[in-house]
Structure formats: structure tokens, C-alpha cells
Amino acid sequence: MQKLQFEPSWDKTLSPKDRKRIEEIYFETSLSNPANVQLTPLWQAVNHKGELLVTVLVHNFSQQVLLFHNKKLRYIENKEIIAEYIFNLPSLVIQRETSMPWTFIFPVESLKNRATLEKGHLEFVD
């Protein structure tokens, strides 16, 4: 059965408001899903370095541990590719049947277009 898990540093620093929002989205999206992995958007921002921060709820519905080694992700808004980057995140390990929030940071050099930070989503690139 799917469970929601927070990375320890998130668990300590997450505001009650953000935790409630994540839990609500988790309950809406975790009930039944045919996909092995789903990335549900939470929020997006640009930091002081100009990097794009995309926070999603990563749902691992599969029976396998999900690792982020050489995983290419693309951020899209209105069918336009905004950023694309290959992530190597040894600390991001999502156990089977587990959902976890995570922020993916796209470096400035990975940005292809300007983000509006509205109605965007992440997808895996094969």
C-alpha cells in the first residue's frame, strides 16, 4: 500500500501549511494509478542564482526502489520545454510503493526558455 514519506531534513523544516498541502495532494493522487512513477507538481520558483526550482511529489507505485542516477528530466509549461537536465542524486532513494516530495534544481545553463512558473510539470526523458 502506498505511503507518504518525507526526507529527514524536509520533515524538520517543512511548514505546517506546506505539509498539509502535500498531504492533500498525496491523498488525491495516490489512490489508484496505473503508472509506475508519477511526478505531481507542487510548486515552482526561481532562486537568487537564476536556477529553476521545481517541487513535485514523486510517486513510486512500482515494486522496485527508485533511484535518480542519470535520470533526465524536462520541465514543461504550455507544451514548451523550459528546462532539461540529467540528475544524479544519490541521496534521493524512493522505496517501493512510496511517495516523497522533492525539489529538482535546474541550473541556469539547463534553461532553454523563460519560465512563467504557472501550470508547469516535470516528465522523464528516455
The CA R_g of the chain, rounded to the nearest whole Å, is 14
Span 111-124, pLDDT tens digits: 999 999 999 999 99
Residue of 112, 66, 79 lying closest to 56 (CA atoms): 66
pLDDT value of residue 64:
94
pTM for this prediction: 0.93
Rounded Cα distance, 1 and 11, in Å: 21
Span 45-100, pLDDT tens digits: 999 999 999 999 999 999 999 999 999 999 999 999 999 999 999 989 999 999 99
pLDDT value of residue 29:
83
pLDDT value of residue 35:
76
Rounded Cα distance, 46 and 68, in Å: 22
Would the CA dihedral through 80, 86, 90, 95 be positive or negative?
positive
Which has the higher per-residue pLDDT, 11 or 82? 82
